[in-house]
Amino acid sequence: MAHALTAPRPAALLVLVGAAATVGGALIFQHVLGYVPCKLCLTERQPYYLAVPLLAAALLLPRRPASWLLALVAVIFLVGAGLGAYHAGAEWGFWPGPSDCGGGAGPAPAGVNDFLKALESTRPVDCTAAAWRFLGISLAGYNALIAVVLAAFAGIAALRGLRRG
């Protein structure tokens, strides 16, 4: 059964579902739960936005091209894991975060007066302050862990698919 899941098409589907669930979870935190993402949070989503259509294409392609796409996706998720690790490290104070870190958009003001009031109290979201933690791990930390798992799964499937030809 484990070998069946690492064939290119099933692996592409599994990684696609994992990637979509991860970025979907981030969007729920933002749009439903009201967490405003920082600059790094938004950057960490980009590998998912790139990988999802590549994984969908891999579902439609023969084994060898699908395997090459999975290899590319593995590299993309390794980059994503690096972004998540950098962000989590900045949150823990292991190294400085970006000096220009601002945030994503909060709720839109209803009118000009509301906008001017919002400017008085609005602060950019700080990339070095975790907005949420579970078991001591922030969203950036979970992103790094999930991206490593997705990269490993895509990479293993790519290698197996390329070996079989």
Q: Which CA distances in Å does 152 have to 51, 55, 123? A: 14, 14, 38
**Residues sharing a CB contact under 8 Å with residue 46, sequence separation 6 or more, in sequence order:** 80
Q: What is the pLDDT of residue 1?
A: 42
CA 138 vs CA 9, 11, 106, 115, 129: distances in Å: 32, 27, 20, 31, 9
For position 102, what pLDDT does the model report? 55
Residues whose CB is less than 8 angstroms from the CB of residue 105 and which lie 6 or more positions away in sequence, other chains included? 36
CATH topology assigned to domain 2-98+114-164? Bromodomain-like (1.20.1550)
Return the pLDDT at 53.
95
Q: What is the domain partition of the chain in residue ranges?
A: 2-98+114-164
Going from the first residue of the chain to its last (165 residues), give the mean pLDDT of each consecutive group of 10, the final group possibly shorter. Answer: 67 94 90 85 93 94 91 97 90 78 57 65 62 77 94 93 75
